Amino acid sequence: MTLQLTGNRPRSWLGATALALTLCGSNAFAEDVTLNFMGPEAPAAMEKVIAAFEAENPGIKVNYENVPFNDLNSIIQTRVGAGDPDPDVYTADQPRIASLVKKGQLLDLSPWVTEIEGVIQSSIDASTVDGKLYALPISTSSQITYYNKDLLDAAGIAHPSIDPSTRMTWEEMRANGEKAMAAGSEFGFMWDQINRYYQLQPLAESAGGGSGVSADGSDVDVTNDGWVKAMTFYASAFEDGLAPRGVQPGQTKDVFANGQIAYFVGGPWWLPLFSGTEGLNFGVAPHPYFEGGEEATPTGAWSWGVNPNSDHIEEAVKFIMYAALHPVGALETAKGFGLPPANTTTFDAYYTENIKVDGVADLIKSELANTSRIRPRTTGYVEFETFMGKAFEDIRNGADPADALSTAEKAIERAWSRN
């Protein structure tokens, strides 16, 4: 199958996988081109995919510019928003894609990608706005429950199953956490990203509160009964001493690694760390849910998009398709991340090669297929996330959950009214 290019659009619209293979096997671009690629990943993490792409495409070079995640969006606004063609390609945080699209800062990929095979659907959904794909999913995410076998054994608590059909409830985890503390554990349970919407969205979803944003992204509702129930449970974990106050998101993993806590709900990217921690005897189980509520887990990660101001649109599209869809390119990309790949073929290869914990790959795939909830696709996501993060922090430090949620909702509504 041969791809013919006319201007910026292929004459024949092919499925994404076939197109990626066709593009990456040809030398369609005779003149040497240098692409500038910007993202928050460490430079060493991008070396393998860049080297593999350049080897297959000798007429294209890729320069990678690393910027801190906290500065990424402001730099995109400053450069891409001003019409600068540099960078040609950049990393897009999936919940921010709708805002980037509204501002005209991501290229519509629909002319090149008419269908995608072999990519996790939730990642495609998170990269799509109004039915059009604006970035290619690179990685995805989920959360699992880690448990300390020794602490559970000391309390006479059975180890939870890795089978999603028998997952624990939050109520059960709390009760077991109390038993573990009575038997000597310093803490009962805690969350990984302790005050971030990504981590805590599933509590509200499971309690029937929804994401907090309407389906069309225009209205906020974080004061309903489900949200109040979820945040009341969250608050009680800190108020009653089951989870420690004062620990920041970057430090939570250490509490579990040090053997101080019975249960830790966190990302699968901590598996290599915990597996290599001497004296830590741990197991893995599914993410909890509220008794009688929905089974819900967080998801979402990185996609790569093209600057619509780029002077090298076709080469830039070729690069992101290689990294996201080509079987070699996607695997080389995955090697640079601790996150699960969004490419399903690469997913299996990645976990077989890198994560040697029995059953964890199947568990994550099951969660991604059945329980995952993407973050709200709204142009006001940045403001929403900011004010919700403040509410979570206030709640864990003793603020009344209903009052904190009401304050956040009003602040978000004010911010959105100015957009």
Q: Are 341 and 350 in contact (CB under 8 A)?
A: yes
Query: How does residue 392 score in pLDDT terms, banded at 50, 70 and 90?
Result: very high
The whole-angstrom separation of Cα 196 and Cα 216 is: 22
The model's pTM? 0.88
pLDDT the model gives residue 27 = 47
**In sequence order, which residues have a C-beta less than 8 Å from that of residue 175 and are 6 or more positions away?**
none
What per-residue confidence (pLDDT) applies to 351?
81
User: Comparing C-alpha atoms, which of 129, 22, 65 is closest to residue 377?
Assistant: 129
In this structure, the answer to whether residues 116 and 205 fall within a common structural domain is no
Phi-psi region of 109 (alpha: psi -120 to 50; beta: other; left: phi over 0): alpha
The answer on 126 and 25 residing in a single domain is yes
Contact by Cβ (8 Å): 87, 65: yes
Mean pLDDT over 388-393 rounds to 98
**Do 272 and 150 lie in a common domain?**
yes
The answer to whether residues 104 and 127 belong to one domain is: yes
Residue 169 bridge partners (DSSP): 289
- Return phi, psi of residue 18, to 5°: -65, -40
* 396 and 283 both lie in a single domain: yes
Same domain, 148 and 287: yes
Domain shared by 193 and 328, yes or no: no
The helix (run of H) or strand (run of E) holding residue 325 is helix 313-325
DSSP 356-374: --TTHHHHHHHHHHHTEEP
Number of structural domains found in the chain: 2
**pLDDT tens per residue, range 172-188:** 999 999 999 999 999 99
pLDDT band at 266 (very low <50, low <70, confident <90, very high): very high
What are the φ/ψ torsions at residue 47 (nearest 5 degrees)? -60, -40
Kindly report the backbone phi and psi dihedral angles of residue 147, in degrees, each rounded to the nearest multiple of 5, phi listed first: -135, 145
At residue 338 the predicted structure's pLDDT band, cuts being 50, 70 and 90, is confident
Q: Per residue in 1-36, pLDDT tens?
A: 222 223 333 322 234 444 444 444 444 444 699 999
Q: Are residues 131 and 222 in the same domain?
A: no
- What pLDDT was estimated at residue 31? 64
Do 131 and 236 have their domain in common? Answer: no
pLDDT at 115: 79
pLDDT at 354: 67
Radius of gyration of the chain measured on its C-alpha atoms: 22
User: What is the residue range of 283's domain?
Assistant: 144-298+376-417
Average pLDDT value over all residues in the chain:
91
